[in-house]
Amino acid sequence: MIDIQNVVKRFKSNKQEITAVDHVSLSIKKGEIFGVIGYSGAGKSTLIRMINLLETPTEGKVILDGTDLSALSTKALRQKRQKIGMIFQHFNLLWSRTVKENIMFPLEIAGVPKAKREQRAQELIRLVELDGKEDQYPSQLSGGQKQRVGIARALANDPHVLLCDEATSALDPKTTDSILDLLKEINRRLGLTIVLITHEMHVIRKICDRVAVMEGGRVVEVGDVTDIFQRPQQEITKRFVQQVTKSDEILSAAADWQVDQGWVVECRFMGEVAGKPVISQLIRQFDIEVNILQGKISRLKDSSYGTLVIQVTGEEAEIKRAIGHLKSLGVGVEVLAS
């Protein structure tokens, strides 16, 4: 669907050359929700803007549906862009136009007859659940409602791809979840390929199938979200996972635990094993005692992810056998103190 081939983007600033994106290659499948996560300055916004050539790559290619976008004429690129919708952090709505008029605007530019513009706008208003708001202006809407207008407008030309540039960063947590649920439903109903960038692992956890982690203009890790949560490889990826699992809080609390009386172990559960009575089985099977110190279960897009911190006491050899058993069940295990 989308093939990003060794793209580089350099900017000149104060006679200096800055490399914002540094030889990035990604392949995004048709119909998936693909996330790109990184801190400010990682290059993720520049990367997503190169997918529709709002930024032209200094080097490399962006291929959409088999077409090299950089090889297109201005007219052909404009037509191709009609099949790439985009939503933004700060909505970018036309404040002098109503909800319906904002949604119809891309169709007006594309030369669609008024009757069809009206019909399409009403379909999209129902899709994003803004019934009754069509004649209101952006200033009369909440942040979440404004973003729903932005989503409807981005869908006006029936695009194949939807790009989301920090689309929930300006929203409160409850509204963020409602927008993410809407994007997930749009992906399910329309089969739309969604590419989103964010600095929040909660967003990745909730709706993405796969994720690429960016740092310093490069992609340092990429994979299925479940694999990234269970086995993060890079330090920056581990920090992002900790946004959701709160391992940093666990470690900071370790000083309060009586580690001299046993081992403190963090267990990470993914999928089916998250719902099984693993700890009770462990106590029955091995000559150890287990004290639960802290735990949390989170939902990924299509599965569960849980963390549990336990204090295990007993003979060292028996503790090691118990840990080995947990690993054999597919539980991620990290010894925090022993």
The residue extents of the domains of the chain are: 2-243, 247-337
Please provide the distance, in angstroms rounded to a whole number, between the alpha carbons at the two ends of the chain. Answer: 49
Give the separation between CA 147 and CA 128, rounded to whole angstroms. Answer: 10
Can you give the pLDDT at residue 169?
87
Q: pTM for the whole thing? A: 0.82
Q: How far is CA 267 from CA 42, 103, 122, 295, 297, in A?
A: 31, 48, 49, 9, 11
Can you give the pLDDT at residue 46?
95
Does the pLDDT at position 306 exceed 80? Answer: no
3-state secondary structure of 263: strand
CATH architecture designation of domain 2-243: 3-Layer(aba) Sandwich (3.40)
Return the beta strands (E) in 143-234 as ranges.
161-165, 193-198, 210-215, 218-224
Helices 143-154 and 173-190, packing angle to 10 deg: 20
Model confidence over 228-286: pLDDT tens digits? Answer: 887 889 999 988 887 776 645 555 555 555 555 678 888 888 767 766 788 888 899 99
- For residues 145 and 93, is the Cβ–Cβ distance under 8 A? no
Tokens read off for 63: 């291929």
The strand pairing partners of 313, in sequence order, are 289
Does the pLDDT at position 12 exceed 90? Answer: no
Give the separation between CA 287 and CA 283, rounded to whole angstroms. Answer: 7
Does the pLDDT at position 29 exceed 90? Answer: yes
Place of tokens 């947590």: 173
121-125, 132-136, 230-234, 272-276: which has the minimum mean pLDDT?
272-276
**Looking at domain 247-337, what is its CATH homologous superfamily?**
ACT domain (3.30.70.260)
Longest dimension (CA), the chain: 79
